[in-house]
Amino acid sequence: MPPVPEPPPPLLRLDDPVLDLPTALDRLDEEHFQRGLVPVELEKGVPAWLMISLPVLHRVLKDEHYFARDPRAWRDLWNGTIPDTSPLQALYPPRRNALSVDGGEHQRLRTALTGALQEVSLALLPARIREIADVVIDGFCTRGRADVVSEYASVLPLLVLCRLFGMDQPAGLRVGMAMQRLWDGEADAGHAHHQLQDLLLEHAAYRRAHPGRDITSGMVARGLDDEEIRDQLALIMAAAHDPIAHALANTLADLLQTSRMHMVGSTWLISETLNHGVWRHPPLETLVGRFPTADGLEVGGYRLARGDCLVMGFGAAQRHQLRTAPPEPSNRAYPVFGMGPHGCPQLGRDIALAIAQTGVERLQQRLPDLRLSETDTPRRASTVIAGRRALPVTFTPARPITPAAPHQEEKWNPTRPAPASVSNSRTPPPTRSVFARLARWLRSS
Ligand code: HEM
């Protein structure tokens, strides 16, 4: 391989708090899209390459031999370039889940995990989602107003996933409460992280002793030990929760902004709105990464060095595709689910789209005159996700339909401790009381 030349200067710094990344990328010259790769910085002094075209994403993500997924291959994570205090260190520690390893170990974990996902009955899934959606909606339906992002979209996916893991409601809510403390970044976030790990481990042991038809029991049956199961469950929660929450909230916002919410009775309309939204505003704008395993590999006319970091620029690539060769209306081959050996399993995609779609449908059925309380619902200035910080709505107050519904409002804790650790989630946290309120309701019912 020829020697690696000095990398070009970065075009963008992805942690710039005032950067509107989607707009900045969409304005790049066509020449950059033809190359498909742009030099960027993740934070000051941390170089990376952003992949912004489908051909480059396909080439890199499908080549596991020359482009590792395992962050241990990321040179700057280990050579002192990224300081221990950087959030990047907190986000990419070595992990033993399918997404963080390559080769034979990846094959083994992915086979068990995708096999276990088959335990989910897609036919029964909408009914289960509706059931959980009803409990969550009952938490705010009497009030006549709510923030859809923090009170619904960021609660529903987590509770549905816990149910698919085979947890009962109290266990799901305990996981929710631990996640909430992590999201809040409160002083005990470290403790909440350990607690979450313990809850998942206990659940794996419980399902080993009491198998059922669920994802956890599916992994037990496919030979994973309890710690491996804990790590794969944690991966699913981390990989799935945020993007589903934003796909749901984005779809709802699109429908409300175009005043088509009343037409949601049409399943076709909602699935097409979801489809359009996932293409136009993919719930992941970027994602780290891939790491060349050899010096001098050529991508987009640049020569890469071993251990460089390549970031998936799903948002830029999808929007460029829409501008240049728009997909057919019902095309669901969204690049944002990844591709190649680490691509999101088909059942993961199906589950995600079912939660987003059924979540919107159920909310409209329960609160048919839902409307935005603010005309402008700005998107978050984030380089990682494409979502909203809040989506305040109003509606005619409705009766709860689950017994002893948890509709009493709780006061916020005024003495909130300072953040202690970095949270992995980019979804705005559920309002403080949501999981606790649901848990109390279950105890009292
Ligand atoms: C809108 C929702 C979702 C989006 C946008 C999404 C996106 C992705 C992407 C981009 C990857 C590949 C990352 C890479 O190549 O580095 C991935 C992997 C993965 N996803 Fe999803 N995902 C979603 C929902 C889900 C759900 C619901 C599940 C499971 C129930 C799931 C399970 C997984 C797993 C296990 C992997 C790792 C696969 C491997 O490394 O072999 N995802 N997802």
Domain count, the chain: 1
pLDDT the model gives residue 117: 98
| 327/33 Cα distance (integer angstroms) | 18
Q: Determine contact, residues 424/182, Cβ cutoff 8 Å.
A: yes
C-alpha 157 to ligand 1 mean position (Å): 14
**Does residue 6 lie in a domain region?**
no
pLDDT the model gives residue 409: 36
Q: Over pLDDT 90: what percentage of the chain?
A: 58
**Does residue 1 lie in a domain region?**
no
User: 221-225, 227-231, 287-291, 332-336: lowest mean pLDDT where?
Assistant: 332-336
pLDDT tens readout for residues 164-192: 999 988 888 888 888 777 766 656 667 87
pLDDT the model gives residue 185: 60
Look at residues 82, 104, 103 and name the one whose alpha carbon lies nearest to residue 93.
82
Atom of ligand 1 nearest to the CA of 290: 16
Average pLDDT, the chain: 85
Q: Determine contact, residues 132/173, Cβ cutoff 8 Å.
A: no
Look at residues 349, 325, 168, 346 and name the one whose alpha carbon lies nearest to residue 243.
349
Atom of ligand 1 nearest to the CA of 110: 41
CA dist 288 → 43, 100, 113, 332 (Å): 13, 11, 22, 23
pLDDT tens readout for residues 401-432: 987 555 443 332 222 233 333 344 455 566 65
Q: Determine contact, residues 283/387, Cβ cutoff 8 Å.
A: yes
CATH number, domain with residue 281: 1.10.630.10
pLDDT tens readout for residues 7-47: 788 889 998 888 888 889 999 999 999 999 999 999 999 99
Which residue is listed with tokens 């009497």?
142
**Does residue 247 lie in a domain region?**
yes
Whether pLDDT at 261 is above 80: no
pLDDT the model gives residue 386: 63
Cβ within 8 Å of residue 249, ≥6 positions away: 148, 149, 153, 387, 388, 391
What's the half-sphere exposure (Cβ side, CA atoms, 13 Å) at 149? 22
Q: How far is CA 180 from the centre of its chain?
A: 15
| 359/131 Cα distance (integer angstroms) | 10
Whether pLDDT at 306 is above 90: yes
Q: Determine contact, residues 13/41, Cβ cutoff 8 Å.
A: yes
| 419/402 Cα distance (integer angstroms) | 36
Q: Determine contact, residues 239/210, Cβ cutoff 8 Å.
A: no
Q: Using pLDDT thresholds of 50, 70 and 90, give the confidence band for residue 215.
A: very high
Q: Is 283 in the pocket of ligand 1 (CB under 6 A)?
A: yes
Q: Which residue has the higher pLDDT, 65 or 403?
A: 65
pLDDT the model gives residue 181: 73
Atom of ligand 1 nearest to the CA of 284: 5
Mutate which of 344, 350, 355, 426 for ligand 1 pocket (most atoms within 8 A of beta carbon): 344
**Does residue 7 lie in a domain region?**
no
pLDDT the model gives residue 328: 79
Whether pLDDT at 198 is above 70: yes
Measure the N-to-C terminal CA separation of the chain; round to a whole number of Å.
68
Highest mean pLDDT out of 175-179, 193-197, 357-361: 357-361
Q: How far is CA 420 from the centre of its chain?
A: 23
Which range marks the domain in which residue 159 is found?
12-444
| 128/162 Cα distance (integer angstroms) | 12
Task: Output the residue whose Cα is nearest ligand 1's atom 43.
Answer: 344
Q: Torsion-angle region of residue 301: left (phi > 0), alpha (psi -120 to 50) or beta?
A: left
| 371/379 Cα distance (integer angstroms) | 18
Whether pLDDT at 359 is above 80: yes
**Does residue 292 lie in a domain region?**
yes
**Does residue 119 lie in a domain region?**
yes
Which residue is listed with tokens 């409705």?
398
